[in-house]
Amino acid sequence: MTFLKSALLSITLISLGVCAEKESTVIIISMDGVRYDIAEKNDLEAFKRMDKSGVRAEYLRPVYQSTTYPAHVTLATGVYPDKHGIIHNSFFDKVKGDFSYDADANWLDIAPIWVLAEQQDIRSAVFFWVGSETDWNGVGASYRKAPFDASIKEEIKIRQILDWLDMDDEKRPRLIMSYWDGTDDLAHQQGPSSIDIDNQMMRQNKLLNSLLSEIDERNAWDYVTIFVVSDHGMTAVNNYIDLRSLLQKSSIKAKLSEGPAVAHLFVEDQDINEALSFFNNQEHIKAYKKKDLPHSFHMNHPTRTGDIVLITQAPNMFSSFGKPKGMHGYSPEMSDMHAIFYGMGAGVKPQELGPINQVDVMPTVAKILGIKIEQSIDGKVLDLN
């Protein structure tokens, strides 16, 4: 009898030991265009749960310009656009030429976190994330979904995340990243105050809640940490500035690379002062020489920043992007640009954080997973314990 009890106890302890040895796993969900206050003002069960059981930042400060490609690459690299090189969804490079929603990871000047993970024998899985669709310098995620397909619903992404989570330990990815629709498209079309935004957030909340419930059923919170972030917020716009028409009215010959709130002019050296003077005399535009850009902008890239950089503020926007009712891309100090950050699970103590920076997400995730960062980054590890 004593032997039988001892044997059963040994089996139990071995089983517990196996569970305890599950290696940490981080899931990152990015919801496009969800402003910091939208998740707070609605009765959203999943977000309330994460707030109560984990951490919520007062807001997540995005990068400049606060658009999808630069923000997602910053979330993945821990550096600002001047270092990772993706300064907007589309841009001009003096050496490589035009970039426009390009899937080639080698436009990134620095390795994203899934590459660092793979280089250190930590498996990663990515379901749509800027820079993940191809290998970076010959290294890519162990599992990835590509190319990007906007028609793929969140339910399919959740099913895939769970399939990855359910893999045997020797195959299971420990870093899982997924891009979700958020509220971006609707907010562009209808403006950030539309009732349809609230309805869309209810749908995103329901989907997130289903993912959290599936993790509950797996009793996985002792080794799983989940972060829910967004790339930027959204603000109302109503004045549209046609830079191409302005250029035609001037005698300035320039290559124009335009975002909604920031535009880059590539001009000959002898035309720089004329271009600066011309655009500083236009309404709602502030023009800078490249060398005079404030360091806090973090947008001075060697080959992708224009000789002249044009800035506008909401409710104005540069009009190459049509006439939407909602837009982003503006200064990260503008409250409407602020994004969300929620975290819950292993290694996360319930607390409320103050404002944090987008560059802080990557080193925080790396710390949890034990990924060594030997490249220079701008972010710092958040204290979640």
Residues 116 and 34 in one domain: yes
Residues 87 and 157 in one domain: yes
Q: Is the pLDDT of residue 69 over 60?
A: yes
Report pLDDT for 33.
Answer: 97
Q: Is the pLDDT of residue 8 over 70?
A: no
Residues 243 and 352 in one domain: no
First to last CA, the chain: 45
Any domain includes 2: no
Any domain includes 191: yes
- Band of the pLDDT at 18, cuts 50, 70, 90? very low
> Is the peptide bond preceding residue 355 cis, with omega within 30 degrees of 0?
no
Per residue in 197-227, pLDDT (tens digit) is 999 999 999 999 999 999 999 999 999 999 9
Q: What residues make up the domain containing 309? A: 239-323
Torsion sign over Cα 182, 183, 188, 192: negative
Between strands 224-229 and 143-145, the pairing is: unpaired
Per residue in 111-144, pLDDT (tens digit) is 999 999 999 999 999 999 999 999 999 999 999 9
Residues 152 and 294 in one domain: no
Residues 185 and 66 in one domain: yes
Number of Cβ atoms within 10 Å of the Cβ of 149: 9
Any domain includes 11: no
Number of independent structural domains in the chain:
2
Q: What is the mean pLDDT of residues 309-332?
A: 94
CATH number at residue 250: 3.30.1360.180
Residues 111 and 228 in one domain: yes
Number of Cβ atoms within 10 Å of the Cβ of 42: 16
Residues 78 and 107 in one domain: yes
Residues 217 and 281 in one domain: no
DSSP 3-state of 60: strand
Per residue in 155-200, pLDDT (tens digit) is 999 999 999 999 999 999 999 999 999 999 999 999 999 999 999 9
Residues 74 and 165 in one domain: yes
Any domain includes 374: no
Computed over every residue of the chain, the mean pLDDT equals 93
Report pLDDT for 159.
Answer: 98
Any domain includes 376: no
- Band of the pLDDT at 19, cuts 50, 70, 90? very low
Percent of the chain topping pLDDT 90: 89
CA atoms within a 13 Å half-sphere pointing along the CA-CB vector of 295: 0
Report pLDDT for 289.
Answer: 98
Q: Is the pLDDT of residue 12 over 90?
A: no
- As beta bridge partners, residue 327 has 235
Report pLDDT for 43.
Answer: 80
The amino acid that residue 98 corresponds to is: D
Any domain includes 385: no
Any domain includes 1: no
Residues 305 and 359 in one domain: no
Q: What is the mean pLDDT of residues 350-371?
A: 97
Report pLDDT for 352.
Answer: 86
Contact 86, 303 (CB under 8 A): no
Report pLDDT for 220.
Answer: 97
Residues 92 and 207 in one domain: yes
Q: Alpha carbon 23 to chain centroid distance?
A: 25
Per residue in 21-51, pLDDT (tens digit) is 789 999 999 999 999 998 887 689 999 999 9
Per residue in 258-310, pLDDT (tens digit) is 999 999 999 999 999 999 999 999 999 999 999 999 999 999 999 999 999 99
Residues 230 and 255 in one domain: no
CATH number at residue 203: 3.40.720.10
Any domain includes 357: yes
Report pLDDT for 322.
Answer: 82
Contact 80, 378 (CB under 8 A): yes
